[in-house]
Structure 1
């Protein structure tokens, strides 16, 4: 009749075997007591450079692959967005020749209204009063430090 060994006892013996072997051998005589600091720093530096390199490669891949999902951006456009609160907003989206007004919250997106004809022309540049004034100031030639009322 054969006796079976308990698996837990076998695993415990395997776990303790290296410790027992090291205790019996003792410390080798030619082993240095101080670790090789130059070798350790070099290996840590190389490992750090490899990890940083992997991060840059992954970032490059993510940037490269993000263009694949949005290949057909001409079919849908966000015409305008109005923030109503910290997490709520209304967006006017153009799909084909229709414009759709949607309400966006953290949990839902609801269609508020579908316009058969465009409310706004997405190709027209809408500018505020500040933008018009700034553009006017930029387009004027700079007069330098000359007084404007001086006629010499």
Structure 2
């Protein structure tokens, strides 16, 4: 009964050696025990992922003092970030673990004045999938 409650890795070596030497070794029970252990590990991973997402969402709600207005990727590890702190906007360069302030904007950039953002990846993918396969691009 002890072997059914604990995964194989947690049994003492002497108990596993005694079970292996017994002629009535039930492979089905060991397989069930292995699957149960695997399901427990997967459930633990999913539970921890849920908990991390839940904790990350517990940030300050409503008025935030620092807002990321826009991000432009320049390379795999380099990007420009437009950040608003109060009424001031800063252009920041982020590269290789370094953050460098590049420019402080005198007049804030208004979101309505900038060009429309590119469609989201999911929308673009649906457009490509729904396109007639016989039509040439």
Q: Compute the TM-score of the two structures, normalised by the length of structure 2.
A: 0.59
User: Using a 3 Å threshold, how does the CA distance of structure 1 residues 56 and 34 change in structure 2: closer, same or farther?
Assistant: same
Report the 3-state secondary structure (helix = DSSP H, G, I; strand = E; otherwise coil) of the residue aligned with 2:111: coil
Identify which of 103, 121, 142 aligns with 2:93: 103
Q: Which has the higher contact order (CA 8 A, sep 6+)?
A: 2
Identify which of 49, 69, 84 aligns with 2:39: 49
Relative to its length, the structure with more strand (as a share) is 2
Per-residue CA deviation, residues 97-132 of structure 1 (Å, 9 max, x unaligned), is: 0000111111311111112331x113667316x87x
Shift of 1:32: 4.3
Per-residue CA deviation, residues 65-107 of structure 1 (Å, 9 max, x unaligned), is: 1112x32573222222223333222211111100001111113
Larger Rg: 1
Deviating 4+ runs (over 3 angstroms): 122-126
Q: Compute the TM-score of the two structures, normalised by the length of structure 1.
A: 0.54
Alignment RMSD, CA only? 2.9
Gaps of at least 5 residues in structure 1 are 1-17, 19-26, 132-152
Q: Report how many residues are paired.
A: 100
Gaps of at least 5 residues in structure 2 are 1-13, 120-137
